[in-house]
Amino acid sequence: MTKLDFLYTQTQLNEIAKEIINLSLQEGASAAQVELSESISTDIEVLNQEIENFETSHENQLLLTVYMGHKKGHIGISSIKLENSRDIIRQALDIAKYTEEDSANGLLEREYIVTSLHDDLQLYAPYPVNNNELITQTKELEQIALDLEPSISTSDGASTTLTRYNFVTANTNGLNHGYQTSRYSKSLSLIGKNTQGMQTDYWYSSSRIFTNLSNNRELAHKTVNRVKRRLNYGGYTSGKPAVIFEDTIAKSIIGSLIGALSGGSLYRRLSFLNDSIGQQILPDWFNMYEDPFVINGLASCYFDNEGSTVARRTVIESGKVQGYFLSSYTARKMNMRSTGNAGGSHNIYITPNYEGNLESLAREMHNGLIIIETIGHGLNMVTGDYSVGASGLVVINGEISHFTDNLTIAGNMREILQQIILITQDTEFSSVSCGAMLINSGVIQVSIK
């Protein structure tokens, strides 16, 4: 990891991008945008103290989009050298000739393009770790976990990943900016055994800064505890109980909400939240904010994938929708303006209304089910109907009693969102900050497979 470095400086990428944009115009494009990127990644996977995979890659990529009026051509290659760039541009233009004209096609409007970058968000922190140290740390993570708990004697693997990224985006509307980022992660998966057979669970840590990752002992304890809670097995009966979504699952519920408020579904009229601006879709205590400027944030950015300015904003206030997630294309389709979300959302924060952790929320629920795993992607975005396989923890008289699986949970996402009672402040740092979520009884149907 320490021996590899980027081949290009930001200035060099700026110059190459500028040249490609100029050549695109010379070759007949009415407009063009190019992204040049480098990524350096090291992945280590260990299983039972043996190295399963050790891979370092250095990849370059050129993504070029050209327009001929409202016709669009796109091409990507794994090289950012200027050699043969005219041939690449001509191929993209040839693609554009055969595409259907779409009046919404085009670059982001010039007035929305970022002109100056926000103060340093500290998204890039290279870490000079050598390969031997990485291997030692990854093996240590696995071994600490196996030494902690006799009932968990088998590993399903430990891994460490280090990635650095360097890019520039330029277009014919005056954009030519880029920056460097880093992302580090480590994970651990363990196997335990109960009366029903083998049970597995995992945990991970992710950060822009290597030294901010959870230490090995902390991560090992967390993973062991997640497996142990699966080993006391019991059954469950069908019904419509109160349900808690553990924070990992609650974040996926918020992900479904973001998807329903995103332009790709909205302009096609394929969202259960069509025309929801100003509508009360959540309880009046619920607020959702987007902040692209979180220091070290996993989804922080200086501009979106089109070069749009981004800003802190309130997406949902007192349960009412204040805005959507739109790119320039989807905004044109809806006669709106881009919200700077080409490429997705940026650091979502949900305001909690309950001070406590998962165990105290279980006491608040008294009787019901904590969903700790879902299987499948069972959301119909048009109707909001939701159905997935699930595993969970049964709560009896405020105490977590046992683990159960082979469940199906079903409901309608619009009603689920409206019936959120409590959200805890206890959550892991991620691009979506949302704690465990308690849903009223009578909303989610639980069935045994």
Q: What is the pLDDT of residues 390-434, one digit of tens each?
A: 999 999 999 999 999 999 999 999 999 999 999 999 887 789 999
Give the confidence band of 149 by pLDDT, cuts at 50, 70, 90.
confident
What's the number of CA atoms in the CB half-sphere (13 Å) around residue 337? 8
Q: Considering Cα of 93, then 108, then 321, then 427, what sign does the dihedral take?
A: positive
In this predicted structure, the answer to whether residue 235 has a pLDDT above a threshold of 50 is yes
pLDDT computed for residue 200 by the predictor: 94
Average pLDDT over residues 125-140: 93
Whole-number Cα distances in Å, 419 to 246, 299, 448: 16, 28, 23
User: Which residues does 447 contact at the CB level (< 8 Å), separation at least 6?
Assistant: 238, 407, 408, 409, 410
**What pLDDT score does 1 carry?**
42
What does the pLDDT average to over 237-266?
96
C-alpha 18/C-alpha 168 separation (Å) is 10
Mean pLDDT of 313-324: 98
Task: Indicate if the pLDDT at residue 309 is higher than 60.
Answer: yes
Q: Which of 195-199, 248-252, 288-292 bottoms out in mean pLDDT, i.e. has the lowest?
A: 195-199
Specify the 3-state DSSP secondary structure of 219: helix
Contact by Cβ (8 Å): 249, 442: no
| Strand intervals (E) in 296-384 | 313-317, 320-321, 348-350, 368-375
Q: How far apart are CA 105 and CA 71, in angstroms?
A: 7
Best CA proximity match to 53, nearest among 61, 45, 64: 45
Mean pLDDT value across the chain: 95
The pLDDT value recorded for residue 128 is 87
Q: Evaluate if residue 305 carries a pLDDT over 90.
A: yes
| CATH 3.30.2290.10-classified regions of the chain | 10-227
With a cut of 70, say whether residue 224 has pLDDT above it: yes
Report d(CA 199, CA 227) in Å as an integer. 7
Whether 81 shows a pLDDT value over 90: the answer reads no
Q: Is the pLDDT of residue 192 over 50?
A: yes
Closest CA to 216 of 161, 163, 158, 132: 158
Q: At what angle do helices 131-148 and 216-228 cross, to 10 degrees?
A: 40
pLDDT of residue 53: 94
pLDDT of 3:
65
* CATH code linked to domain 10-227: 3.30.2290.10
pLDDT, tens digit, 9 for 90 and up, residues 163-184: 999 999 999 999 999 999 999 9
pLDDT in the model for residue 4: 79
Instruction: Tell me which residue has tokens 């409007």.
Output: 109
Mean pLDDT over residues 16-24, rounded?
A: 97
Given a cut of 70, whether residue 60 has pLDDT beyond it is: yes
Of the candidates 351, 425, 365, 353, the one whose C-alpha atom is nearest the C-alpha of residue 243 is 365
Report the range of poorest mean pLDDT among 70-79, 111-120, 239-248, 365-374.
Answer: 111-120
pTM value is 0.93
CA angle 347, 269, 343 (to 5 degrees): 30
Buried b vs exposed e over 253-270: b needs ≥16 C-beta within 10 Å? bbbbbbbbbbbbbbbeee
Residue carrying structure tokens 């991970």: 204
